[in-house]
Amino acid sequence: MLKRFAVSFTAAMALLGTSLATAEERPAPFDAPEDVTIALIRYISTGDFFQAYLSGVEAQAAALGVNLRVLDSRQDAALQADMVDQAIALGVDGIIIQHGLPESMKDAAQRAVEAGIDVVAFDVEVDNPAIPQVEQSDYLLGELVLNQALQDNGDSFTAGYVYVPGIAPLDRRNAAWEDFKEAHPGVTEAAVFGTLDNPIANSVANQARAVIQANPMIDVFFAPYNEFAAGVKIAVDEMGLGEDIAIYSADISTSDIAAMREPGSPWAATVATNPTVVGEVSVRTLALLMAGEAPGQQVIVPPTLITQDFLNDNAITNMETLGENMPQFSHAEVVLADWLTLPER
């Protein structure tokens, strides 16, 4: 009887999939997760990437059993800084700052640290040794997709470039673009434009139409954010130039996959991390910090090249099937610990 019970218990535990750490096994404060509250303070929330990122944050917080407060500044830098102060006043135990402007977030982040709150930053430079930075290896992301553009178009083409300075991931991708142009003098930058005005894709589309009309020689767009790429695609499609222009981007979502797979789509390739995974990693980084286990000053989630040909050849229709065909896209082996419960897959 005892043996039968032991076998049944072992089988039941195996069925749980991800090993679940009990409260007794977890370090403080996660031995009483119901008493832990973390805050996600967002600068940008528009677009599929940021919705998927939020889903990852929510899933990892739920797996840990902690309370989550989401504060969304909708690209209002002053309001985002105020929201850090709100989180401090609420007495949260940890804060994730998602994007933002360095000039408004550095002091606000420092105030949280001085209040004894653990802070993690995702894609915003706060220049604070107490605050780990989660990022997508944005330079490599830009480098990978630009190398694909080179492979597809040769080393001589005329490019339109979509860029808004001051946003950390865009600035790092810009560094890759500047190095790429220097290494390939046959590449001409005909125009630089961009906006984060909502709705971002439509706002960029309006700009792209004017850019293409003024620079009809453009045959490649480097648009290193999926909302930028979606906007350029709107303009290219409306102008009937899908066979003449190729778009190279960063980030991906289910709607992006559909757009890339449309017949005659100009959207040739993107390089991305899974935003849901990045959200999970952000929470795990904060959890390790709160538990007194150093996650490292820089936490890198490696990106993956995704081409239109790959999507078509493998009949990829959404983020789920993309992960099934690209296992490296569905999980990041970073910031792990035996006691850190992972979301169910």
In order, the DSSP letters of 107-148 are HHHHHHHHTT-EEEEES-----TTS-EEE--HHHHHHHHHHH
Residue 49 has a pLDDT of 86
Q: Which of 11-25, 168-182, 247-261 has the lowest mean pLDDT?
A: 11-25
Percent of the chain at pLDDT > 90 equals 87
Residue 344 has a pLDDT of 87
The rounded distance, in Å, linking the Cα atoms of 19 and 7 is 17
Mean pLDDT across the stretch 256-273? 97
Torsion of CA 111, 114, 117, 122, to 10 degrees: 50
Mean pLDDT across the stretch 96-104? 96
Residue 4 has a pLDDT of 36
Mean pLDDT across the chain: 92
DSSP string, 237-292: HHTT-TTT-EEEEE---HHHHHHHHSTT--EEEEEE--HHHHHHHHHHHHHHHHTT
Tokens of 151: 């492979």
Does the pLDDT value for residue 60 go beyond 90? yes
Does the pLDDT value for residue 2 go beyond 50? no
Does the pLDDT value for residue 52 go beyond 80? yes
Backbone angles phi, psi at 12, to 5 degrees: -65, -40
Backbone angles phi, psi at 227, to 5 degrees: -70, -35
182-230, pLDDT tens digit by residue?
Answer: 999 999 999 999 999 999 999 999 999 999 999 999 999 999 999 999 9
The pLDDT-based confidence of 46 (bands split at 50, 70, 90) is confident
Mean pLDDT across the stretch 128-139? 94
Residue 23 has a pLDDT of 45
Does the pLDDT value for residue 18 go beyond 80? no
Does the pLDDT value for residue 10 go beyond 50? no
Residue 14 has a pLDDT of 40
The rounded distance, in Å, linking the Cα atoms of 36 and 94 is 8
Does the pLDDT value for residue 120 go beyond 50? yes
Q: Which residues, other chains included, contact 17 with Cβ-Cβ below 8 Å and sequence gap of 6+?
A: 344, 345
**What is the third-level CATH fold of 22-136+275-302?**
Rossmann fold (3.40.50)
Superfamily of domain 138-272: Response regulator (3.40.50.2300)
Only one residue has tokens 């996600």, namely 40
Mean pLDDT across the stretch 91-112? 97
Tokens of 145: 């997709």
Residue 47 has a pLDDT of 82
Q: Identify whether the C-beta of residue 158 lies closer than 8 Å to the C-beta of residue 218.
A: yes
- On whether the pTM is more than 0.85, the answer is no
Coil vs helix vs strand at 299: strand
As to burial, measured by CB atoms within 10 angstroms (0-12 exposed, 13-18 middle, 19+ buried), residue 11 is exposed
All structural domains of the chain with their residue ranges: 22-136+275-302, 138-272
Only one residue has tokens 């099937």, namely 321
Does the pLDDT value for residue 276 go beyond 70? yes
Identify which has the larger pLDDT, 47 or 18.
Answer: 47
Q: Identify whether the C-beta of residue 66 lies closer than 8 Å to the C-beta of residue 95.
A: no
Q: Do domains 22-136+275-302 and 138-272 have the same CATH topology?
A: yes
Does the pLDDT value for residue 21 go beyond 70? no
Residue 81 has a pLDDT of 98
Residue type, 171: D
The pLDDT-based confidence of 330 (bands split at 50, 70, 90) is confident
Tokens of 28: 């403080």
Q: Which helix (H) or strand (E) holds 269?
A: strand 267-272
The pLDDT-based confidence of 25 (bands split at 50, 70, 90) is confident
The pLDDT-based confidence of 11 (bands split at 50, 70, 90) is very low
The rounded distance, in Å, linking the Cα atoms of 214 and 216 is 6
Does the pLDDT value for residue 20 go beyond 60? no
Q: Which of 14-18, 196-200, 277-281, 322-326 has the lowest mean pLDDT?
A: 14-18
Residue 328 has a pLDDT of 87
Tokens of 228: 């930028």
291-329, pLDDT tens digit by residue?
Answer: 999 999 999 999 999 999 999 999 999 999 999 999 889
Q: Where are the beta strands (DSSP E) in 166-242?
A: 187-193, 220-223
The rounded distance, in Å, linking the Cα atoms of 337 and 295 is 10
Does the pLDDT value for residue 16 go beyond 90? no
The rounded distance, in Å, linking the Cα atoms of 64 and 283 is 9
